[in-house]
A and B are shown apart, each in its own frame.
Chain A
Amino acid sequence: MKEYTGWLFDLYAHPEKGLVVWLVGEDGRPYRFHQDFEITFYVGGPVPRLRELWTFLRTREKVKLVRTTREDLFDGPQDLMEVRVPGPFKYQRLFKQTRECFPDLIYYDVDIPLSLRFMAARNVFLMAHCKVAAQPDGNLIDITALDVPEELDPQLPQLRKLALSPDREPSSKTPPRYLLAKYGGFSVRAPLDKPRELLALLNGILSAYDPDVIQTRFGDTWLFPLLEELSRQTGTPFHPNRDQSVPVLRRGEVTFFNYGRAHYRGPQVHLRGRWHIDVENCMTYGAYGLLGAIEQTRITGVPLQEMARRSPGAGVAAMQSLTALRRKVLIPYQHQKGEIRKTYAQLVRADRGGLILQPPIGIFANVAVLDFTSMMASIMIEFNVSPETVGAEDEAAFEIPELGIKIGSQPGLMPQTLKPMRDKRLAIKRLLKSLDKKDPRYRSCRHRYKPVMDGLKWLTVVAYGRLGFANSTFGRINAHEVVSYLSRKVILQAKAIAEDRGFTVLHLYVDSLFVSRPDASAEDFQTLADEIERETHLPIELQKIYPWFAFLGTRDNPNISVANRFYALSADGEHKIRGIALRRSDTPRFVANTQTQILNILAKEPDPARLAGLLPEALAVAREQLSLLKKREVPLEELVVSQTLSRELSEYSHFSAVASAARQLQLRGKSPRMGQRIRFIYTGPGTAHAWDLPVAPDPRTVDLTRYREMILRAVYEVLHPLGMTEKMLRDWLFGGASYVMSVGELGSSDPTKLALPLFNDIKYLHVDSL
């Protein structure tokens, strides 16, 4: 027997070896082990039927059958049959047969990923630093974790990375000509029209450099299928797996709706013994990169190649299942708990999300943003809210009379699942906050911890939605509603505390407060945050203080404000901008740049009363941009609009610009799918030219009027809080009117004065000067 120390890197079922486990050793070498691994599931139902099942199973495979009692999360102890199957492949076959013959029985612990089963059984986790004892033939005897997922600063391996990307996007007008390979300090450019040499190069890298991670652009949807095809054509083998006794794992493309929007995920190629990450085919990976993905894998138990591509919701589901397995709580299969019924009044009170209070429109000085950290997760932890605790009637239950419901006192599954992750995120945030930004350690700390924080943030954000999500195994809408209700109470309590201390609460957005007080210092704002945390028992942070904050109206009516549409500029460049053109994904770069330039001008001025004085400079920028547009000197790529196809092309009855562009691509042999982003340029009312067609659009066909209006809207968005009206802007930009009014007469940024524009006509008396 030999011992190894390293990191639990990969695991999967093997047709002959049972379970295969890969370790990346402390020496940097990969080690492969295998182990027989039983899969256990449970069956419930009428006793006569269970007897028939017993007879059925005894004749098949070498299963072990035991009568047992296990805990159902909602319904308590259940008398069941425990079925233990030797090996994952045998299990899949056997369960399918069992289900077909006994569809009326109730099944538990059936649909659980192998990684979670292994982690629960061996008390380890993926990317754990661990010690392995194995026989010389690789048979795994024992594995012990040497750290915990909550470790603030875990020791991680130095992974060997190979990056592969084409010299241009495969959907470009001209197809890619080269494949760029970067590894171990080397960089190679291999021509794609020499397949044998290309495959030989890649095989050489895989063999000699032996990367742990292959990070690609378009690897799932273009590169690996291409390499496979080239391998077939040339007869040159290509095996990207480390484990060449099994094929790569393929998943098909999928379209789905998430939060009301269509999404598309291309086909996937997962490797064995090695990771493949296609950054173009991942949902949130781009926000936190490899470090953040490793963190998610450590916390959720989902293998990294899966976790990088899937939504964070899949991670939370895995965490719940893992907690359930460790607590020996049954995981139901094709069975869910319905809502605890309520009266009409209770429904009206309960069926609400977080609280949002619209801000007033205008510009406000000295505004701080305070954020509750992982608010919904913190509420679940603090109040023990979980699908099974809501509605429980034990003596120590906490009652919410308005909702007519109680929260039981037995430790809930969800709070147990979330607490370690929430605490870790909080600890990292506070560590970073404690460092002075001028401290030389700050940059390296931030570089190290920010991806981890962002990776965890996504998980905590979706945990709340998961409580009420229809497809959630343990979800129950009542739990989701209790969290929403408590979040509203908490934010209103915070608002009251702020107002008692003389602050004006300008805006509330679920877990954020925007407060101002003209004379408040940074210490005053921090004292407020500390007081709110003390009173509510939920962690809150002073995120930032801005010299001024602009809240905007809706796009259709500037007199009606809307949440999440604002901008606040900071001299250090850490602006807070939501809902305006440059933040929207369908804004062309040219329009976004125009808006950015104007905001940079406004950012120079910390006194909101003097912002109107910057109008001439801002308007000069706008005029210059319009002039470039008129002279057709704007590069076409800066006019590209990118929009999501919201349904399949066949379902469009009226073709919008995006649908027209998709149709053009379809006629060229492409297959645009619902949820995919389509790029195009406007070439006339309702018409567009798809950007990824082989032939670029004629610059003379660009719909200048359309883009001119987009510039106008973008400029108006940022200038209207200063008192600018659309008519005024149109006159100045398109009507050739000069800026004749002197500073101060345009209109004040003080909203009380904006309310009475009549007085602005009185030139002999300047209201501002009183």
Chain B
Amino acid sequence: MGRTLPSATQIVLDELDELRSFYDALRRSDQLILDKFFEDVLQHRAAIANATNLLPIEVMPFVMLLEAYKKNDRAFGQLHAEMQGLARAIETFASKR
């Protein structure tokens, strides 16, 4: 934390605040998704503040993409593992019949 500029948390919160009018005009179901995005952004607030050559709003979409990619990757991985498990279970069942 420096001396004059806001903290990393405050910088990000101020930017999110700039999105308020956009947020208010969305459906509730969309707002809930945006809430998740904002959580992801806050999770990376130190890295956002570290990118001093860019405005925070320019970095935030990268954070959202990063987290979305990670979640998708995990979901695909888990789905794949579950399907393999199903396949094995079916094989076992079939061989016992």
Chains A and B share a contact (CB less than 8 Å): yes
A residues bordering B, Cβ < 8 Å?
345, 347-353, 355-358, 468, 477, 480-481, 484, 488, 557, 559-561, 563, 752-753, 755-756, 759, 762, 765, 767, 770
When A and B form their complex, what is the total count of cross-chain residue pairs whose Cβ atoms lie within 8 Å?
67
The answer on a CB contact under 8 Å between A352 and B84 is no
Contact between chains at B82 and A349 (CB < 8 Å): no
Nearest chain B CB to A637 CB, angstrom units: 37
User: Complex Cα distance A88/B33, Å?
Assistant: 72
| A350/B85 in contact, CB under 8 A | no
Q: Is the CB of B2 within 8 A of A560?
A: no
24 pairs from A and B in contact (CB 8 Å cutoff)? A345-B52, A349-B52, A349-B53, A350-B2, A351-B5, A352-B2, A355-B46, A355-B50, A357-B47, A481-B2, A488-B50, A559-B43, A560-B39, A560-B43, A561-B43, A752-B78, A755-B71, A756-B74, A759-B82, A765-B86, A765-B89, A767-B78, A767-B81, A770-B81
Q: CB-nearest residue of chain B relative to A764? A: B89
B8: chain A residues at CB < 8 Å are 356
**Nearest chain-B residue to A346 (Cβ)?**
B52
Note all chain A residues with C-beta closer than 8 A to B78: 752-753, 756, 759, 767
Binary flags per residue of B32-69, CB closer than 8 Å to A gives 1, else 0: 00000001001111110110110000000000000000
- Give the shortest distance, in Å, between A610 (CB) and chain B (any CB): 21
Q: Report if A358-B84 is in contact (Cβ < 8 Å); known contacts: A351-B4, A488-B50.
A: no
How far, in angstroms, from A345 to B85 measured CA to CA in the complex? 55
Chain A residues with Cβ under 8 A from B44's Cβ?
358
Supposing A347-B5, A484-B2, A755-B74 touch, asked if A765 and B85 sit within 8 A by C-beta, the answer is yes
- The chain A residue sitting closest to B2, CB to CB, is A351
The interface residues of chain B, by DSSP majority, are classed as helix
Q: Contact at B39–A559, with CB atoms within 8 Å?
A: yes
B75 within 8 A of A: yes
Contact A767/B74 with A351-B3, A351-B5 known, Cβ cut-off 8 Å: no
Residues in B neighbouring A767, C-beta threshold 8 A: 78, 81-82
Complex: chain A residue closest to B84, CB-CB: A770
Chain B residues whose C-beta falls within 8 Å of the C-beta of A348 in the assembled complex: 5, 52
* 9 smallest beta-carbon distances between A and B, as pairs: A351-B2, A353-B1, A349-B52, A351-B5, A352-B2, A348-B52, A752-B74, A560-B42, A765-B85
On whether the beta carbons of B49 and A352 are closer than 8 Å, the reply is: yes
Q: List chain B residues, Cβ under 8 A from A561.
A: 43
Interface string of B1-30 (1 = CB under 8 A from A): 111110010000000000000000000000
Please indicate the chain B residues that have their CB under 8 angstroms from the CB of A481 in the complex.
2
Instruction: Categorize the interface residue count of chain B.
Output: 20 to 34
Please report the C-alpha to C-alpha distance between residue A350 and residue B44 in the assembled complex, in whole angstroms. Answer: 20
A358 to B47, CA, bound (A): 9
**Is B39 a contact of A765 with CB atoms below 8 Å?**
no
Closest to B8 in A: A356
- State whether B46 touches A357 (Cβ < 8 A): yes
Q: Are B71 and A468 in contact (CB under 8 A)?
A: no
Q: How far is the CB of A356 from chain B (nearest CB, A)?
A: 5
A468 to B1, alpha carbons, bound, how many Å?
A: 13
| Chain B residue nearest in CB terms to A350 | B2
Q: How far is the CA of A353 from the CA of B81 in the complex (A)?
A: 44
**B39 nearest CB neighbor, chain A only:** A559
In the complex, A357 Cα to B48 Cα: how many Å?
A: 10
Q: Mark B69-97, 1 if CB is under 8 A from A, else 0.
A: 00100110110011011100100000000
Which residues in B have their C-beta under 8 angstroms from that of A347?
A: 4-5
Q: Which residues does chain B contribute within 8 Å of A357, judged by CB atoms?
A: 46-47
Name which of B42, B53, B86 has the most chain A CB atoms within 10 A of its CB.
B42
Chain A residue with minimal CB distance to B77?
A752
Q: Which residues of A contact B45 (CB under 8 A)?
A: 358
Which residue in A345, A353, A759 is a CB contact (below 8 Å) of B2? A353
Contact partner, B39, options A349, A351, A557, Cβ 8 Å: A557
Additional A-B contacts beyond A352-B5, A356-B8, A752-B74 (4; CB < 8 A): A347-B5, A477-B3, A563-B46, A770-B81
Which residues of chain B are within 8 angstroms of A352 by Cβ–Cβ distance? 1-2, 5, 49-50, 52
CB-nearest residue of chain B relative to A468? B3
Q: Are B46 and A358 in contact (CB under 8 A)?
A: yes
Which residues of chain B are near A484, meaning CB under 8 Å?
A: 2
User: Considering only CB atoms, which chain A residue lies closest to B44 in the complex?
Assistant: A358
B77 / chain A contacts, CB cutoff of 8 Å: 752
Q: How far is the CB of A491 from chain B (nearest CB, A)?
A: 11
Q: Cα distance A756–B79 when bound, in Å? A: 10
Interchain CB contact under 8 A, A756 and B2 = no
A358 to chain B, nearest CB (A): 6
Question: What is the CA–CA distance of A468 and B3 in the complex, to the nearest angstrom?
Answer: 9
Minimal Cβ-Cβ distance residue in B for A751: B74
List of B residues within 8 angstroms of A349 by Cβ: 52-53
Residues of chain B with a CB closer than 8 A to A350's CB:
2
Q: Report chain A residues within 8 Å CB of B5.
A: 347-348, 351-352
Residues of A within 8 A of B39 (CB): 557, 559-560
Q: Which residues of B contact A563 (CB under 8 A)?
A: 46
A356 touches B86 (CB 8 A): no
Hey, which chain A residues are within 8 Å of B3, CB to CB? Answer: 351, 468, 477, 480
Give the chain B neighbours of A559 by CB distance below 8 A.
39, 43
Give, as a whole number of angstroms, the nearest-CB distance from A618 to chain B. Answer: 27
Residue with the highest number of chain A CB atoms closer than 10 Å, among B8, B39, B43, B84: B43
Cα distance, A480 to B1, chains bound together (Å): 12
Please report the C-alpha to C-alpha distance between residue A550 and residue B77 in the assembled complex, in whole angstroms.
24
Bound-complex Cα distance A770 to B42 (A)? 33
CB pair A770–B52 under 8 Å, yes or no, is no
A527 to chain B, nearest CB (A): 28
Nearest CB of B to A716, in Å: 19
Which residues does chain B contribute within 8 Å of A488, judged by CB atoms?
Answer: 50
Q: Is the CB of B84 within 8 A of A756?
A: no
Chain A contacts for B82, CB-based, 8 A: 759, 762, 765, 767
In the complex, chain A residues whose CB is within 8 Å of the CB of B74: 752, 755-756
Chain A residues with CB below 8 A from B46, complex form: 355-358, 563
List the B residue with the shortest CB-CB distance to A559. B39
Chain A residues closer than 8 Å to B47, beta-carbon distance: 357
Residues of A within 8 A of B71 (CB): 755
Closest to B73 in A: A752
B89 to nearest A CB, angstroms?
Answer: 7
How distant is the Cα of A756 from the Cα of B77 in the complex, in angstroms?
11
The interface residues of chain A lying within 8 Å CB-to-CB of B42 are 560
Q: How far is the CB of B43 from chain A (nearest CB, A)?
A: 6
